[in-house]
Copies of this chain bind each other. A is one copy, B any other.
């Protein structure tokens, strides 16, 4: 059996859970590498992936004998056979944060399972800790992102619109080995940079603008996430001060990120330093990254848990002056035993793009 399913079965044993229905396609991909519509049944004896006829060939190509996953078409099974999957199971886990109420009722009916049990994100919790293969893919996604940034520093010019730059990011990723973006790129210039979640607009890049570039790609399903704040033509003095403060905190945070570090403490440190300088920190310091762009753990002062080795998270402090400008600097970081490693490696020195 593959390591991830083996791990899941052990965890289930610890929780006295006898079977599980896995419906979230991201969790299915994590456990099996399968990217297809369907459902994974972890029964007492077997691992069964049920899918549609049109996916069978594709799914069989992805799986190896070692996976010990049986693939069948939904329609091969009769009503009675569905009822047999979980016969004699005292309980059957399901993903209460993914499954709709209507699906929940359908599962009860179809599998004759009156003992469906919430699983409290057991798979998502395991997904927090990345294995070697996952780290390789994340590293590759981050490398493509760095290369894209390098390209952008040469591409961006006065007079281009935010939308044009955002499209260029998407194009770069798709033509340079990524599957596409991991989220809609943020290209926020001038005043627009004061909104942390700005959408690209038709505003043209102007001399003296700050530009927040927050973007990432997907490589074999795994996401990257990086933000750089760059300058057009020159660096306004008031922006420089804020930039230096954000960067100081981003570098300090990086030092604190390691196995065993308390998430709340690290986040408080940034909040306090911003407050001392007269600024509020209005969003979380970071989040887990993996097959989803936003995964647990949330890195914020509300999370009193500790970091663990091989988590991959973002480190993204930011300051936003309403109606004026904003500065955010973000890396995707691999948490280590003694120290952490930035997977995105683009320069954080002042970057001034050409004025023409």
Chain A residues within CB distance 8 Å of chain B: 94, 96-102, 104-105, 118, 163-164, 167, 170-171, 174-175
How many copies of the chain does the oligomer comprise? 2
Contact of A170 among B100, B102, B118, B170 (CB under 8 A): B170
With A163-B174, A175-B164: A118-B97 Cβ-Cβ less than 8 Å: no
Chain B neighbourhood of A101, CB < 8 A: 94, 96-97, 99-101, 104, 118
Contact of A102 among B96, B102, B167 (CB under 8 A): B96
**CA–CA, A97 and B104, complex, Å:** 10
**CA–CA, A118 and B106, complex, Å:** 13
Q: B96–A99 contact, CB under 8 A?
A: no
Can you list 12 contacts pairing A with B, beta carbon distance less than 8 Å? A96-B100, A96-B105, A98-B100, A99-B101, A101-B104, A101-B118, A102-B118, A164-B175, A167-B167, A167-B171, A167-B174, A167-B175
Q: B170–A167 contact, CB under 8 A?
A: yes
Q: B100–A99 contact, CB under 8 A?
A: yes
Least CB separation from A164: chain B residue: B175
**CA–CA, A102 and B94, complex, Å:** 11
Chain B neighbourhood of A99, CB < 8 A: 100-101
